[in-house]
Chain A
Amino acid sequence: DAGITQSPRHKVTETGTPVTLRCHQTENHRYMYWYRQDPGHGLRLIHYSYGVKDTDKGEVSDGYSVSRSKTEDFLLTLESATSSQTSVYFCAISADWDSSNQPQHFGDGTRLSIL
């Protein structure tokens, strides 16, 4: 299994509080991704990173920010959590931007509940 660790694995918090999820990889892969998974919607891309300090928005980026200060760490922050952000969040990595050649490897997810 690819060395991807997500923390925390579970979190319950209240509306309006800030939340930071961490993704740590030991594969030295350049590309990292944050997805959310919701029933009826499948997996949707929030933000991605193509290098240290290089990030861009995905399909559902509103309300989220990311940072990548080191190759191995990719942080996802909810500045002021809302109930609509209750979801399971997955981090993924890939060695190559061109997905023709490389699959993505996923962490085991963070289950976030916002009350």
Chain B
Amino acid sequence: SQQGEEDPQALSIQEGENATMNCSYKTSINNLQWYRQNSGRGLVHLILIRSNEREKHSGRLRVTLDTSKKSSSLLITASRAADTASYFCATGQGTYGGSQGNLIFGKGTKLSVKP
């Protein structure tokens, strides 16, 4: 069953603008991860934020996590045409052994950055 739900489903912006994508989930988590998928390629891990963290940065990426609202956001600053891709959140419950250790992926946000 799907855990994370990304919003919006699609986003179109101009180069240089910021892009914000949101992810909501239903059950308690141990961590939340964001992945990028370019057309025709596999998913690439971007960033992982643990449940006891509120914000994390990696280059032009900023991720926030609000466990009280069961939501996360991914901000890409000063976007580039090369950022055009689909972005997925994935939640991990972090339990050793059993299916609880698996990641559950959302359906993704399709980002288009126009030059």
Contacts and interface: CB of A to CB of B under 8 A. Distances in A.
Please determine whether chains A and B interact with each other in the same assembly.
yes
A56 interface: yes
Contacts of A35: 105
A59 interface: yes
Contacts, number: 66
> Chain A, interface size: which category?
20 to 34
Interface in B47-80: 48, 50
Contacts of B99: 56, 58
Interface string A76-111: 000000000000001010000111100111111100
A100 B31 contact: yes
Given A106-B42, A109-B42, A100 B30 contact: yes
Contact of A108 (B41, B48, B95, B106): B41
B2 interface: yes
Nearest to B91: A99
Contacts of A40: 107
Contacts of B44: 106
> Chain B, interface size: which category?
20 to 34
B45 A41 contact: no
Interface of A: 4, 33, 35, 40-45, 48, 56, 58-59, 90, 92, 97-100, 103-109
Nearest to B4: A42
B2 A42 contact: yes
Closest 7 CB pairs of A and B: A106-B42, A99-B92, A103-B45, A42-B107, A43-B105, A100-B94, A106-B43
B11 interface: no
Given A98-B96, A99-B33, A43 B102 contact: no
Given A42-B108, A43-B88, A103 B48 contact: yes
A45 B43 CA distance: 14
A98 B29 CA distance: 12
A106 B90 CA distance: 14
A98 B107 CA distance: 22
B33 A103 contact: yes
A113 to B, nearest CB: 15
